[in-house]
Amino acid sequence: MTKPIPKGTCRHVHECHVFVCVNERPPENPKGCCRAKGGLEIVNLLKQGIAQRHAGKDIKVTKSGCLGLCEKGVNMVVYPEGVWYSHVTQEDIGEIIEGHLLGGQPVVRLMTEEEAL
């Protein structure tokens, strides 16, 4: 039996971990998919923007499978806060990096409707 880890002793490897949906569905699927809406480009732009700001040690960006909000894609979730963003476009990347990932202020206009309430 393993001992429980005392509260406060766990450290995050990264300050923020961003998961971006890059799931791909057939073109005829009515839900659509984040890959077709630019998910891979979003991942690449996030990684580039974070590297340009020398924040790569603190912020990790990971491609994810389906996050379940296909019709609202591109979708992403930022941890440790658990903030969900939908309808993310390439034009939103700078605001997400500067405002949320570096500045600590979620971008309310991109948060999923349920979260923004």
All structural domains of the chain with their residue ranges: 16-116
Can you give the pTM of this predicted structure? 0.84
30-88 pLDDT, tens digit each: 888 999 999 999 999 999 999 999 887 889 999 999 999 989 999 999 999 999 999 99
The CATH architecture one would assign to domain 16-116 is 3-Layer(aba) Sandwich (3.40)
Output the six-digit token pair for 90. Answer: 């390439």
Beta-bridge mates of residue 16: 59
> What's the pLDDT tens digit per position in 30-42?
888 999 999 999 9
Biggest CA pair distance of the chain: 51
One-letter identity of residue 99: G
Q: Are 116 and 69 in contact (CB under 8 A)?
A: no
Task: Classify 49 as helix, strand or coil.
Answer: helix
Bridge partners of 20, per DSSP, are 63, 76
In the prediction, which pLDDT does 9 show?
Answer: 37
